[in-house]
Amino acid sequence: MEKMNHTHIIMTLFDSQMRFGPRLAILCLAMLMFQPLIAAQEEIQSKTSITESITQFVNSQYTKGYKIKLKTQKLDPHLRLTHCSTALEIFYPVGSRKLGATTLGVRCTGDDPWKIYVPTQIHVYGPVVVSKRALPRGTILHTDDVELAKRELSQATSGHYVLVHELKGMILRRSLAKGSIIPPKALKQRHMVKRGDIITILAESENVLIRVKGKALMDGYRGQSIRIKNTRSTRELQGEVIDSGVVKVKL
C-alpha cells in the first residue's frame, strides 16, 4: 500500500467527519490550512539560535577566569533567514573591535548561504597587571611595583599584561597613577646585559646546572638571544638573557 501524505490523510478525515458533525470537520479544515505555515516556520532560522551561537563564540574566546557580559541588539522581527543546513559561523568583521560596542558577523555556508551583521556589546572582566602605587616616568619596574587586579578589559584599549614577571626590568615611558592598567606602549625595554659586560652563564641540561663567568659580545634585553663568550674556554656561545647580567645556554 502506498503511503499517504499529510494532506491526503486530513482530506480523508474531513470527508469522513462531515457525517459525524461540523465541529470535527472544521478542525480538520484548520489543520489543512495551517500545514503550509507550520512547514514554512520549520525552514526559517530561529533568532534564538543566532544569539546563542554568538554567545557561545564570545565565551570561547576567554578562559574560565573571565566574567563576560554580552548584549546583542534585538534582531528585526521581520527578518526571515533560511534555516542553515550547517553550523552557523560567527566572526569579527575586518576592523571591528573585540570589546565594547562592536559588530559580529553571522554566516551560513550551507545549501542556501546567507550572512548578517549583529551590533553587540561585549564587556569582559578579568585579571590584568596594574600599578600598585603611583609610578613616575623612568621607573625601572620590579615585581613589587605591580600587581594583578580585575578590570573591565574594554578599558585597556591599548593592550594589557596578565603576567607580573613580564614587566620586571622594563622602564616606564610615562607616569602612571595608582591602579592604572599598564599597556605595552607605556613601557620600553632595558638592556639587562651590555656588550663587554662580565656576566654569569648558566649552562643547563636535564640534570645539570653549571655557573661560569663569561663576557657579553652584544647588548641584550630580557628574553633576547645574544652572543657570549666563556672566558675560561674562550668558546663563543648563544644564550638567552634571563636577568640582569645573567645569560642561560643549553648544553
Residue 1 has a pLDDT of 43
Interacting residues of 188 by C-beta distance below 8 A, sequence separation 6+: 170, 171, 173
pTM for this prediction = 0.58
* Residue percentage of the chain with pLDDT more than 90: 55
- Taking only the tens place, the pLDDT of each residue in 149-183 is 999 988 887 889 999 988 988 999 999 999 999 99
The answer to whether residue 85 scores a pLDDT higher than 60 is: yes
State the average pLDDT for the chain.
84
- Phi/psi class of residue 54: alpha, beta or left (left: φ > 0; alpha: ψ in -120 to 50)? alpha
Mean predicted confidence (pLDDT) in 131-160:
91
With helix as H, strand as E and coil as C, how does 135-188 read? ECCCCECCHHHEEEEEEEHHHCCCCCCCCHHHHCCCEECCCECCCCECCHHHEE
Looking up cell 625601572, which residue turns up? Answer: 140
> Which has the higher per-residue pLDDT, 50 or 25?
50
Domains for the chain: give ranges and CATH numbers. 6-42 (no CATH), 47-123 (no CATH), 125-188 (3.90.1210.10), 198-250 (2.30.30.760)
